[in-house]
Each structure stands twice: as structure tokens, then as C-alpha cells.
Amino acid sequence: MKKTFASLLMALVLPFIANAANYTEGVQYTQVSEKASKSPEVREYFSFYCPHCLRFEPFFAGVKKGLPEGVKFERNHVDFLRMASPQIQFSLTKALATAQQLKVEEKVVAAIFNYIQKQRAVISADKDIRNIFVLNGVDGEAFDKAFKSFAVNSKAKLMKKSQDDLTKKRALTGVPAIVVNGKYRINADKLDRNNFEQDYKNLIEYLVKLDK
């Protein structure tokens, strides 16, 4: 019985060990910082103007649900795409922070993606962003208060800083991109095409524990 149990345990553990052994810095992941974040996190860098980001929405939702206990999933909107001015893109960064503060992130993120990429509508001012929130059930005054708040502006500036720190190092040149613990960027094109989602999750679990 003990031998049977041991065999079963090894059968479950060996695939992860094998995958972990095959993860190599510079191949499946790249170290982009000397210092790790204070707490474990998986940070997605994305843009509402990026078609690939929209296609990856369901995938990253699955990644988020499968994260190890105690690991946060953070979203970081970027402003370096050429489809709109940096000012409008930064306003969308503030929109993400506002949606998070008002607890309507999932609904509003989907609505903004839909507005820009499916309806092909143009965001030319903050009032357009406000209208999206209102059409999705958010009180206009609540939006105004949150959008202009110190908390939202501070969070948006932190997203901008995180983006800029990586772009200066040429560690962030496109989206979507995932950085684990502020230190390791996943090179998705080097993962197993036949078992992509599981390989992605295994790599995240490996990187989260790498410096422990």
C-alpha cells in the first residue's frame, strides 16, 4: 500500500519537477529587475487599444483564478501605443484605477474594450470615459469623485512609473506582458504550444517561489 501511494505521489509531482527543471532564465523567462516586489504578485501589462490583449482576456482570467494562495493579480495599463495620445491613454489608466476603486473592474474593463475595439468608437476626452461608466450602472457623481481622487491619481501614477521603469530597460516593448514579483518577465513564445495554459501556470508558480 505504501509503495502504491508513493508511486501515485511521484506521478503527480514529477510533471511539475520536469517542467521546473526545463525553465531557464533567458529562455522561458527573463530577469528584468534586481529587486523583487515586497509581496508576491503577477502583473499584467496591457492596453485597451491592443487586439491581442482583448483576445487574452479569458486566458488571464483563468490564470488569475489558478494563482497560488497569497499571490495577487495586478493589472497595469500602458500608454505607449500609437492608437491614441499618451494623455488619452493615461486617462484610461485612471479609468482602470477608478473601476478598481468602485468595485466594477470586470464590467467596465469589458465595456471599454468593447467601445474601442468592437464598436470602433473614439475616446477623445474624459467625458467619453465617464459615459462608459454611467452606461454600465455607475453613478456619475461617484465616478467624478473617484476619478479625481488622490487614491486613483496615485495608483495611475504608480502604473505609469512601473511601465516607464521597464521600458527604459527595454524589458517592456509590447503587450500583453506578464511580470512576476516585479522581477521576472514571462517569454510566452517559448512555452509549450501543445499545453500552453498549464505551462504558463506552472511557470508562474515556479517564478513566484524562485527567490524564497
What confidence category does residue 155 fall into, taking pLDDT thresholds of 50, 70 and 90? very high
In this prediction, residue 22 carries a pLDDT of 83
Buried b (16+ CB within 10 A) or exposed e, 76-102: bbbbeeeebeeebbbbbbbbbbbbbbb
Instruction: Place 68 in a pLDDT band, splitting at 50, 70 and 90.
Output: confident
Asked whether the predicted pLDDT for residue 14 surpasses 90, the reply is no
Mean pLDDT of 182-210: 95
pLDDT at residue 17 is higher than 70? no
pLDDT band at 62 (very low <50, low <70, confident <90, very high): very high
Q: Tally the residues of the chain.
A: 212
Locate the domains of the chain by residue range. Answer: 2-208
Residue 67 has pLDDT above 60, yes or no: yes
SS (HEC) of 117-134: HHCCCCCCCHHHHHHHHH
Q: CA dihedral defined by 89, 188, 74, 136, rounded to 10 degrees?
A: 60
Superfamily of domain 2-208: Glutaredoxin (3.40.30.10)
- Mean per-residue pLDDT, 41-47: 98
Under the banding of pLDDT at 50, 70 and 90, the label for residue 21 is low
pLDDT at 8: 46
d(CA 102, CA 106): 11
For residue 194 the three cell numbers come to: 501543445
**What is the mean pLDDT of the segment spanning 86-115?**
98
Q: How far apart are CA 211 and CA 203, in angstroms?
A: 14
Q: What is the pTM of this model?
A: 0.88
Mean pLDDT of 99-111: 98
For residue 4, give the amino acid letter.
Answer: T
Distance separating alpha carbons of residues 69 and 65, to the nearest angstrom: 10
User: Quick check: 158 pLDDT over 50?
Assistant: yes
